[in-house]
């Protein structure tokens, strides 16, 4: 039996202090000065002392420390009531309406420590919500195939395959396999890294992601021109995004990699043939933007032999249709997956989800909705401390200087985040009693959708439906 897959991690503190949610404000004029009961000395987390030392160090005079644990003990016990807690406005400016501040702050923590988020008290968020928040994963109470999956004896695999599987094998009378074997890449994690569509993508950032892809034995999709630069060291883990017109220009690069990425176009299948002519062992991914008519095109491509298809929504997971409808990526995947199952061609191609995957739970949920794996860019950029503030797109200086990310530390932070996400995926798989990520794909029955539950419960009772 092969050894258990494991993502190496290393604690890497941030270059810039993370933006904290709350701040303790000291109303200094109210302070009694010299009070022997000063609550700051009694903080069990020693935050006030650390903050004092931090504020008086010459290294980072313009930052805040932001490590308050929010217990309110100092605020509530100060003799003069001189302390108060407020929301940090900078925190509320992080991200956007989808990439909420809590998501970004959570990624930063995981990227620094590799620990999966654990906390006390019950869940404090909304009952349900749009997008991925409208589904829950199921669990098994007593009867379950996996025993002690996460803490003990049985191994839960997160491996997935990229590539097409033939629906049947044909053999000659002499027992020889007929036809060509399709290339399949086995990735130990259900995601590939991808250059995100936003942010300051410096050479250092690209190198960090390439290093992380190698460290985790997954793939990193980046423009072929950039890939050329890193091919010497990382070719086995690069998936160059090649323009149809430039395939011949990158022939040497294509020969050296395991996967090549193309954009969909009317002549996409011809382009695939060109790539295969150069490197028959490479899996070719075709990327389609989700939207009008994409289902029919996916079926057409799969039936014509496409082996890996990436379906992209926008960064928030939304898909805009020409009639004004907006659909979320999970719903599109459920539909397309089901369609391919109905056509009996689902296993002929790998479906890769792109867009709106911001948390580990989203990864599990998109797989349940029919994706084989996901392509992730923004989470790893945020792992390297991007604040999604848009400064770079406005031509303003990046507040965290992404061009100076040390590639090695950046790679560790990417791997830390990936490890934390993988561990969370194991938690979900373990709770469901499912032993491998491959089997999670399209398991709608192991999820519970809010609309179904509302219909079967409250709508039935209160609207008589």
Q: Which residues bind another protein (CB under 8 A)?
A: 22, 25, 44-45, 69-73, 75-79, 81, 84-87, 106, 116-129, 136-144, 147-148, 150-152, 359-361, 364-365, 424, 427-428, 430-433, 448, 453-454, 457-459, 461-463, 465
Rounded CA-CA distance 251/13 in Å is: 40
Distance of closest approach, residue 3 Cβ to another protein, in angstroms: 23
Nearer to another protein, 150 or 400 (CB): 150
Distance of closest approach, residue 400 Cβ to another protein, in angstroms: 25
Residues 6+ apart with CB under 8 A from 164: 182, 184, 305, 306, 307, 308, 347, 348, 349, 350
218 SS3 class? coil
Distance of closest approach, residue 457 Cβ to another protein, in angstroms: 5
Nearer to another protein, 75 or 339 (CB): 75
Q: Which two tokens stand for residue 94?
A: 């992080």
Distance of CA 407 to the CA centre of its chain: 20
Are 460 and 184 within 8 A, CB to CB? no
Nearer to another protein, 22 or 155 (CB): 22
Nearer to another protein, 56 or 151 (CB): 151
Nearer to another protein, 232 or 461 (CB): 461
Distance of closest approach, residue 124 Cβ to another protein, in angstroms: 3
CA angle 320, 322, 327 (to 5 degrees): 30
Nearer to another protein, 95 or 433 (CB): 433
Distance of closest approach, residue 435 Cβ to another protein, in angstroms: 13
Distance of closest approach, residue 271 Cβ to another protein, in angstroms: 39
Q: Which two tokens stand for residue 226?
A: 């950039």
How do beta strands 83-87 and 22-26 pair? antiparallel
> Helix/strand/coil (H, E, C) string of 247-289?
CHHHHHHHHHCCEEEEECCCCHHHHHHHHHHHCCCCEEEEEEE
């Amino acid at each position: 039996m092969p050894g258990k897959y494991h993502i190496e991690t290393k604690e890497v503190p941030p270059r810039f202090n993370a933006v904290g949610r709350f701040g303790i404000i000291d109303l200094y004029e109210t302070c009694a000065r010299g009070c022997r009961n000063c609550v700051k000395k009694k903080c069990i987390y020693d935050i006030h002392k650390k903050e004092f030392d931090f504020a008086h160090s010459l290294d980072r005079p313009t930052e805040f420390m932001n490590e308050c644990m929010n217990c309110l003990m100092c605020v509530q016990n100060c003799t003069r009531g001189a302390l108060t807690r407020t929301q940090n406005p900078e925190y509320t400016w992080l991200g956007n309406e989808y990439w909420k501040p809590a998501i970004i702050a959570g990624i930063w923590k995981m990227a620094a420590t590799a620990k999966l988020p654990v906390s006390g008290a019950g869940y404090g968020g909304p009952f349900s919500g749009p997008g991925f928040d409208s589904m829950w994963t199921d669990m098994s109470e007593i009867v379950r195939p996996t025993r002690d999956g996460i803490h003990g004896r049985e191994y839960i695999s997160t491996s997935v395959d990229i590539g097409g599987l033939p629906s049947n094998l044909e053999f000659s009378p002499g027992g020889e396999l007929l036809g060509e074997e399709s290339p399949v890449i086995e990735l130990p994690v259900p995601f590939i890294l991808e250059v995100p569509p936003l942010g300051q993508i410096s050479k250092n950032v690209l190198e960090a992601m390439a290093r992380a892809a190698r460290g985790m034995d997954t793939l990193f999709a980046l423009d072929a021109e950039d890939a050329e630069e890193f091919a010497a060291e990382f070719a086995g883990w690069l998936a160059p995004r090649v323009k149809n017109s430039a395939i011949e220009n990158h022939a040497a690069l294509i020969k050296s990699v395991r996967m090549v990425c193309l954009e969909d176009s009317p002549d996409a299948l011809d382009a695939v043939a060109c790539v295969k002519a150069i490197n028959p062992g490479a899996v070719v991914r075709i990327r389609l933007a989700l939207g009008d008519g994409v289902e029919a095109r996916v079926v057409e491509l799969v039936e014509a032999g496409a082996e890996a298809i990436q379906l992209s929504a926008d960064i928030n997971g939304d898909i805009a249709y020409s009639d004004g409808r907006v659909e979320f990526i999970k719903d599109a995947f459920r539909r397309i997956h089901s369609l391919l199952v109905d056509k009996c061609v689902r296993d002929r191609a790998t479906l890769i989800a792109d867009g709106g995957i911001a948390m580990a739970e989203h990864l599990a949920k998109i797989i349940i909705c029919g994706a084989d794996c996901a392509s992730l860019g923004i989470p790893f950029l945020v792992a390297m401390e991007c604040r999604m503030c848009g400064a770079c797109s406005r031509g303003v200086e990046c507040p965290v200087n992404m061009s100076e990310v040390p590639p090695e530390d950046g790679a560790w932070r990417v791997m830390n985040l990936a490890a934390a996400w993988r561990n969370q995926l194991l938690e979900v798989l373990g709770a469901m009693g499912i032993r491998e990520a491959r089997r999670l794909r399209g398991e709608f029955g192991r999820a519970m959708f809010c609309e179904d539950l509302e219909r079967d419960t409250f709508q039935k009772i209160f609207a008589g439906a």
